[in-house]
Amino acid sequence: MDGSNLKLQHGRATRAIHAGYEPADADGAISPPVHFSSSFSFASAADARDAFTGDRPAHIYTRISNPTLDLLERRMASLEDAEAALAFASGMGAITSTLWSLVQPGDEIVTDLTLYGSTFAFLHHGLARFGVTISPTDLSVQKGLDVIAARRPRLVYFESPANPNMRLVDITAVSAAAREAGALSVVDSTYATPCLTRPITLGADVVLHSATKYLCGHGDALGGIAAGRRELIDTIRMTGLKDMTGAAMAPFNAMMILRGLKTLDLRMERHSANAEIVARWLSHHPVVAAVAFPGLGDFPQRALAERQMDRPGGMIAFELTGGLDAGSALMDRLMLIRRAVSLGDTDSLIQHPASMTHSTYTPEERARFGIGEGLIRLSVGLEDPADIIADLEQAMPAI
């Protein structure tokens, strides 16, 4: 029995452990085997021909597909309530492969104002050089929906919550506006994971993840995921992945991410609970000018967060009153929290976007897109929340 088609309608935590695999498929092994082969043999020339023409489903080469990657893809499709999913070597592999597959010179992409730094760089310094128009728009307000209707782009791209300032975008409203305009909607849901938000069920065409983050959860494997309608995922596989980027996930990494998925629901519950405690403490500290966290009562988009997120997540953005210098001083005094990029690890990680992940923006662009010079991004880990707060507290007097 294929675990992705369980007879009972199991919940997401159960599917994260079982979907797509039965021990009977591998001599009773509870843990799925890892297929390290880069290539796969055929019984005959006719067998090979049928595989290459698509007349017979078969693994040919791991850059295209592999049994271990296939299990991860089926499991992620189940978690996202999508028809199909595709694994990549990294989150940027997922983003670039998807966009290379879905746009061409002369097309326009409407994006939200706030994006991950490398995504911003790829769009503005990469695709734009090949004749693709990039139009940053505030998709969190009605005006953004009006822009989609007026410009009728090929694709609408956004994150929710957005990296690094936690802005939310109404996935249902923007996806509907995109569909009405004849555009595809692509959502980076790395911060949320399918435990918090399911963009496909809210109307999006494609959902993307950096699987390096919460899906893996332990900071020890890179990966990316795209999920959506089968026809779109097949196009991304055979165009963006196979022929353009070659950003294939290694089978070992797929095994590590499959292992991480088994505790995803449990970890997201603890990440969210810890982050809420830390966010409430930060909101009362005198040198913290503002805290952005969907679980706070004064979060400007609290109603939207409650509507499209099951939990507030483990990410916090907060602005220090002292700007750039204050951010540097805080980070230099931390003892427990790790100064590092990435997020979603068991360890709490902190970074200063203006000098790190979003340094690809000019100062003017950061100001325009809501990334303050004193903005701090904190990925709250699984440590005792009292210890996380104690580390922040002892570092604050340096500001």
Which positions ≥6 away from 236 have C-beta within 8 Å?
86, 97, 98, 101, 102, 206, 226
DSSP state of 126: I
- Strand extents, DSSP E, the chain: 84-88, 108-112, 133-137, 155-159, 184-188, 206-210, 224-228, 288-292, 315-320, 338-339, 349-351, 375-379
Please list the alpha-helical segments (H only) found in 190-337.
230-235, 251-261, 264-283, 302-308, 323-333
Rounded Cα–Cα distance for residues 149 and 137 (Å):
12
Q: Is 302 helix (H, G, I), strand (E, B) or coil?
A: helix
Instruction: Please say whether the beta carbons of 360 and 120 come within 8 A.
Output: yes
- Which structure tokens are listed for 303? 């109603």
> Which residues are part of the catalytic machinery?
63, 116, 188, 213
Rounded Cα–Cα distance for residues 296 and 100 (Å):
38
Rounded Cα–Cα distance for residues 352 and 380 (Å):
15
For β-strands 349-351 and 338-339, DSSP reports them as: parallel
Residue 182: CB atoms within 10 Å: 9
Q: Which residues of 5-22 are buried (b: 16+ CB within 10 A; e: fewer)?
A: ebeeeeebbebbbbbbbe
Q: Which of 91, 37, 24, 44 is nearest to 64 (CA)?
A: 37
Rounded Cα–Cα distance for residues 342 and 344 (Å):
7
Can you state the percent helix, strand and coil of the chain, rounding each to 5? 40, 15, 45
Which positions ≥6 away from 229 have C-beta within 8 Å?
82, 83, 84, 205
Rounded Cα–Cα distance for residues 140 and 58 (Å):
43
